[in-house]
Amino acid sequence: MNITLPDKSIRDLPKGSTGLDLAESIGPGLAKAAIAVVVNGIQKDLSDPINEDSNVSIITISSDEGLEIMRHTLTAQVLARAVQNLFPGTKLAIGPTINNGFYYDFESKKTISNDDLEKIEIEMRKIISTDSDIKKRLHSKQDALKIFSEKDETYKEIIINEADQDDNFQLYYQDNDEFVDLCRGPHLPNLKHIGAFKLTKVAGAYWKGDAKNKMLTRVYGTAWKNEKDLKKHLIAIEEAEKRDHRKIGKEMSLFHFQEEAPGMVFWHPRGWAIYKNLESFVRNRLEKFDYQEIKTPQVVDRKLWEASGHWDKYRENMFITEIDEEHANDKRTNALKPMNCPCHVQVYNHGLKSYRDLPVRLAEFGSCHRYEASGTLHGLMRVRGFTQDDGHIFCTESQIENETKLFIELLSGMYKDLGFDNFDIKLSTRPEVRVGSDEVWDKAEKALENAIQKLELPFEIVEGEGAFYGPKLDFVLTDAIGREWQCGTFQADFNLPDRLEAEYVGEDGSKHRPVMIHRAVLGSFERFIGILIENYSGKLPLWLAPEQVAIATIISEVDDYASEIEEELKSINIKVIKDLRNEKIGYKVREHSAAKVPIILALGAREKESRTVSVRRIGSNNTETKSLNDFIAEIKVEAKSPSS
């Protein structure tokens, strides 16, 4: 039979040759490095026979595919075996690979904790050092079930029973046959191909990812082809931890949380300064795009939530308020608003609207409260009290396309000015369960798609992931270290205008339902500020920084000069810290650098004499001396918000 290699060369091998035979026919080096093959696009074990003319490529650990196979073998054959060696009676569930590593889910009588990881690693290295071959046998369903039921591997039995095949269940063994695991494969032919690895954490995980099921113990690890790559990865994780907004927020005293209000931010002066800078940036942009800003109530009677449908669906996530009976006649049940849209419809409904008024664009910095499950709270990223840069557009179906286009223009400009040049767009289409006719969905999906295409932007379609009330666009930005954050959203809604009876008078003189579009660019201010802090490692651009210039004196004779500069900077709205303390300049520089003040001016006798300033910028160890007038002119321009 003829085997076609990726370089199009053809080799003639006897029928039934294995991947290993093929590799050997090419060269001994490759035979040694080979770990698996891809036959006609499907990954196979090196020992699998090839029975017909095929396109075959050989996988080594240097490729992404090879690395994944190695991680897979490491978890399924080594980690699983090590845990069973150490903790007999542990049952195996599943052990897949993930980005940069792998995990395995176990059910064990012994609670496995982080302290056990080192012990498990040692056991794993012991197993690897045996250089065992990994062998595969195929079993019928019945045989496979028998093998695992004897071992009391409940989860493997479930997997086999739920599989649609009747035979060819792949079981992998190591040398002595003591350890067996069911696996789709392929695996390394021998444990000596395993590279560098480290177990990273243990955590609970539900069987099959369903909260109704039993909680299993999941052990996570990371694995690479060599020590160098492993180290690189561990350093990258450390770097990411250094920019954790909770850590930086504490260091810079931006905000805090406390027990009495879990998930609600106590903003400190400096953190709130950032918030205000961001808010006024957004406000200016919204005005430019013809939004009208409104403000609606925090506490609203349940009747409105019943009408909007939220009471039925999301009540368990709402903060409900009841008035103490002793103190009020009015015992109505209210809820803190979990979202702004029902209130926005109330504003829209006030006064008769004509088709000439559309589109109506209402915006609100809407404070919302949602009772999020306690385990999901996470710094500023996931909170219970937050403020959306929310907005709702009431328009006709035929206006959706243009509104989409305008929104993307608004959003891309804002992201760019905030320092995010790249973002992806995801278009989510109709889900199985939905409201509205197919005809309307066709039009709405088409409108969103057309708008993106006219702007010549790439996008991805996510089938069936739209909300039940309409299709949506999600905007995902990429931060400085390559992490993705979904922030912006644009959702057409055919449901709420109906439920809350929004109307406009059409050209024909009769009443029609407008389409409502829910949209946000940042998502929530809290979360977005968290993202900004992590993106910039706290070193925010001058216009967003809570304190912009620190004036640090070297000798007390220049205090008056420092005060003069302070006054001048304040007069052009620059936020200044004047540091006249009896400390050395090195001490002052260190302190203000740690506080991430963008600009430090050091003033000594020379500067006062020549009316200059010595400028030191955050992130740089160089200083630059320039005339006070030049500095003022420069900073005046630089500190301007990009929205002004």
Query: Where in the sequence numbering do the catalytic residues fall?
Result: 341, 370, 388, 390, 392, 472, 518
Give the position of tokens 């709420």.
496
Rounded to whole angstroms, how far apart are CA atoms 602 and 555? 10
Rounded to whole angstroms, how far apart are CA atoms 553 and 606? 12
> Toward RNA, which CB reaches closer, 30 or 377?
377
Q: How far is the CB of 258 from RNA (least distance, A)?
A: 7
Question: Crossing angle of helices 559-571/628-638, nearest 10°?
Answer: 30
Q: How far is the CB of 377 from RNA (least distance, A)?
A: 5
For residues 451 and 402, the answer to whether their CB atoms sit within 8 Å is: yes
Q: How far is the CB of 439 from RNA (least distance, A)?
A: 23
- Asked, as a colleague might, if the bond just before 359 is cis with ω within 30 of 0, I would say yes
Q: How far is the CB of 559 from RNA (least distance, A)?
A: 9
Map residue 76 onto helix, strand or coil: helix
> Toward RNA, which CB reaches closer, 186 or 538?
538
Strand 10-12 relative to strand 472-478: parallel, antiparallel, unpaired? unpaired
Q: How far is the CB of 318 from RNA (least distance, A)?
A: 6
Binding site for RNA (CB under 7 A): 111, 113-114, 201-206, 209-211, 215, 217-218, 220, 246, 250, 257-259, 262-263, 310, 313-314, 317-318, 338-339, 370, 372-379, 382, 467, 491, 518, 553-557, 582-587, 589-590, 593-594, 600, 602, 604-607, 614, 616, 618, 621, 623, 625
Exposure of 149 in the CB half-sphere (CA atoms within 13 A):
10
Rounded to whole angstroms, how far apart are CA atoms 174 and 177? 5
Give the position of tokens 């930086």.
248
- The residues near 633 (Cβ < 8 Å, ≥ 6 apart) are none
> Toward RNA, which CB reaches closer, 403 or 579?
579
Q: How far is the CB of 7 from RNA (least distance, A)?
A: 40
Q: How far is the CB of 470 from RNA (least distance, A)?
A: 10
Map residue 564 onto helix, strand or coil: helix
Of 490, 516, 491, the C-alpha closest to 502 is 516
Rounded to whole angstroms, how far apart are CA atoms 58 and 23? 7
Q: How far is the CB of 259 from RNA (least distance, A)?
A: 4
Of 565, 550, 549, 548, the C-alpha closest to 608 is 565
Map residue 45 onto helix, strand or coil: strand
The burial of 442, by beta-carbon neighbours within 10 Å (0-12 exposed, 13-18 middle, 19 or more buried), is given as exposed
Give the position of tokens 């990411």.
240
Rounded to whole angstroms, how far apart are CA atoms 201 and 124? 15
> Toward RNA, which CB reaches closer, 179 or 255?
255
What stretches of 129-268 show up as alpha helix (H) in DSSP? 141-150, 154-162, 227-242, 245-251
> Toward RNA, which CB reaches closer, 37 or 595?
595
> Toward RNA, which CB reaches closer, 204 or 297?
204
> Toward RNA, which CB reaches closer, 67 or 205?
205
Give the position of tokens 């089938």.
463
> Toward RNA, which CB reaches closer, 50 or 554?
554
Name the helix (H) or strand (E) containing 118: helix 117-128
Rounded to whole angstroms, how far apart are CA atoms 234 and 527? 26
Of 44, 68, 48, 67, the C-alpha closest to 57 is 44
> Toward RNA, which CB reaches closer, 52 or 463?
463
For residues 35 and 46, the answer to whether their CB atoms sit within 8 Å is: yes
For residues 558 and 576, the answer to whether their CB atoms sit within 8 Å is: no
Map residue 267 onto helix, strand or coil: strand
The burial of 593, by beta-carbon neighbours within 10 Å (0-12 exposed, 13-18 middle, 19 or more buried), is given as middle
For residues 205 and 96, the answer to whether their CB atoms sit within 8 Å is: no
Retrieve residue 11's tokens.
């080799």
Q: How far is the CB of 640 from RNA (least distance, A)?
A: 25
Rounded to whole angstroms, how far apart are CA atoms 175 and 644? 71
Q: How far is the CB of 458 from RNA (least distance, A)?
A: 24
> Toward RNA, which CB reaches closer, 168 or 556?
556
> Toward RNA, which CB reaches closer, 357 or 591?
591
Name the helix (H) or strand (E) containing 592: helix 585-594
Name the helix (H) or strand (E) containing 474: strand 472-478
Q: How far is the CB of 337 from RNA (least distance, A)?
A: 9
Name the helix (H) or strand (E) containing 579: strand 576-579
Phi, psi of 356 (to 5 degrees): -70, -25
